[in-house]
Amino acid sequence: MEISAWISNNESLLNGIAAVIVIFGFLGAIGRTLLKGLRDESGKVDHTDRITLAELSSPSPYRIEFADSEGVNIAYSRFGDTGPPLIVTPGIISNLHVTSHLPPIRETMNSLSEFAKITNFDKRGQGLSDPTSQVATMEERVKDISCIADTTQTEKFFLMGISEGGPMSIKYAVDNPDRVAGLILFGTTARFSRSDDYPLGISDNALDGTIQSWGTGSLRDIFFPSIPREVIDDDTYKGFEKLLADRRSMSQIVDYMKTLDVRPILKNITCPTLVIHFTGDLAVPVRMGRYLADKIPNAKFLEIAGVDHCDLGNAPEAISEIRSMLLTQPI
C-alpha cells in the first residue's frame, strides 16, 4: 500500500494521536508552571524545580531599561500590572538577569507584583548598571533612586529596602518625605558593624569572613537556608555567587558596609514604616531589626518564625502585611 493511501485511510487515527500529543504537551507545560511556584496549604512557596547555572545565567524574563543618572546608566526592570508603585532596593549585590531566576528572590517579587507595580534595579557599579571604579557613595545611591523614579515618571511611591539596601532606603525616605508613601525594611539594619555604642552589630571579623567565603558555597546556609540542595546544588550555588561578583568587588562592598550608619536619622522618618525580620536570620540577626523598629517613630514590627534572610515566599503573613500597607495608605 502506498504511503499516501495509508495516510488517507487512517486519517482519523492520526488526528487522534496528534490530539493526544498536544494534550500531553499542554498538561506538561501546566505542570512545569505550577511546580515553579507551588504553594502548600500555609501559602508558602515549595521550591521544587532544579535550577541550573545555565538558567541563572540566562536573560531576565522582564525587559531591562536604563535610567541616566548624571552619565551613569542604572539598569532597572518593571513588572506587575495593578496597584501602587513599589521601588525595591536590592541587597548586598544584584544582577537583574541572575536574581530573576533565583527562587527566593523570584517568588518574593512575584508575590509582590500581584498587588503592586514593581521596579527593581541594579545599584551603580553592579549587575547590568554601568561599572564604576569604586563602590557608590550613599549620596550617589540616593540620587539613583530619584533618577529611576523620575525616569519612570513615578512622583510618589512605596520604597522597600532589602538587607544592605535598607540604609540607602532610610536615607532616601528622610531626604525625600514628599515622595515616599511608605517604607518597608526587610532583613536590614541601621548599622552593620559592631561598635562600643552599638554592641548589636556584626563583628568586623564576621563581615570579613563574607569576603573569604565568597564563591566557596559556604554562605548558602546563611543567606538561603531554605533552598534544598535538590533545587540548587553546591556547585551551582558557587557559580551563582561568582556570577554576581568576584572577591575583589566583595571586599570593596564589605568595606563600604562597615561605614554605614543611619542611626542618627531614624527619628526623622515620617512616613508609615513596616519592619520585617526572620527570627533566625543568620546574615542580619533579628536584634538589629528590633532596634530599627524601636527607633523609627510609629514603626510596625513583624517578626517571622524561620531562618531565612530574604525569602518572602516563605512568609505569607509578611506579604499580607505589605499588601495591607500598600492598599490602605494614600498615595
- Asked whether residue 32 falls in the same domain as residue 154, the answer is no
Angle, helices 204-213/247-259, rounded to nearest 10 degrees: 160
Domain count, the chain: 2
DSSP per-residue letters across 161-205: EEGGGHHHHHHHHHH-TTTEEEEEEES--SB-B-BTTBTTSB-HH
By three-state DSSP, how is residue 14 classified?
helix
Rounded to an integer, what distance in angstroms lies between the CA atom of residue 125 and that of residue 241? 16
- Asked whether residue 268 falls in the same domain as residue 210, the answer is yes
Beta bridge partners of 185: 161, 275
Spell out the per-residue pLDDT of the chain, length 331, in tens: 444 444 445 545 444 444 333 333 333 333 333 334 444 454 555 556 789 999 999 999 999 999 999 999 999 999 999 999 999 999 999 999 999 999 889 999 999 999 999 999 999 999 999 999 999 999 999 999 999 999 999 999 999 999 999 999 999 999 999 999 999 999 999 999 999 999 999 999 999 999 999 999 999 999 988 889 999 999 999 999 999 999 999 999 999 999 999 999 999 999 999 999 999 999 999 999 999 999 999 999 999 999 989 888 878 999 999 999 999 998 8
Rounded to an integer, what distance in angstroms lies between the CA atom of residue 310 and that of residue 100? 14
How far, in Å, are 78, 106, 246 from residue 213 at the CA level?
32, 24, 11
- Asked whether residue 210 falls in the same domain as residue 271, the answer is yes
- Asked whether residue 159 falls in the same domain as residue 10, the answer is no
Alpha carbon 60 to its chain's center: 13
- Asked whether residue 104 falls in the same domain as residue 228, the answer is yes
- Asked whether residue 47 falls in the same domain as residue 176, the answer is yes
Rounded to an integer, what distance in angstroms lies between the CA atom of residue 148 and that of residue 142? 10
- Asked whether residue 196 falls in the same domain as residue 311, the answer is yes
CB 307 within 8 A of CB 227: no
* Residue 13: predicted pLDDT: 44
End-to-end CA distance of the chain: 75
- Asked whether residue 258 falls in the same domain as residue 297, the answer is yes
CB 75 within 8 A of CB 121: yes
**Residue ranges of the alpha helices (H) in the chain?**
3-9, 11-36, 53-56, 96-99, 103-112, 138-151, 166-175, 204-213, 220-223, 234-244, 247-259, 286-295, 316-328
- Asked whether residue 12 falls in the same domain as residue 66, the answer is no
- Asked whether residue 165 falls in the same domain as residue 266, the answer is yes
CATH of the domain at 256: 3.40.50.1820
Residue 296's domain comprises: 39-328
CB 134 within 8 A of CB 157: no
* Residue 313: predicted pLDDT: 80
* Residue 312: predicted pLDDT: 86
CB 281 within 8 A of CB 197: no
- Asked whether residue 10 falls in the same domain as residue 82, the answer is no
* Residue 24: predicted pLDDT: 36
- Asked whether residue 244 falls in the same domain as residue 261, the answer is yes
- Which of 84, 153, 164, 160 is CA-nearest to residue 123? 164
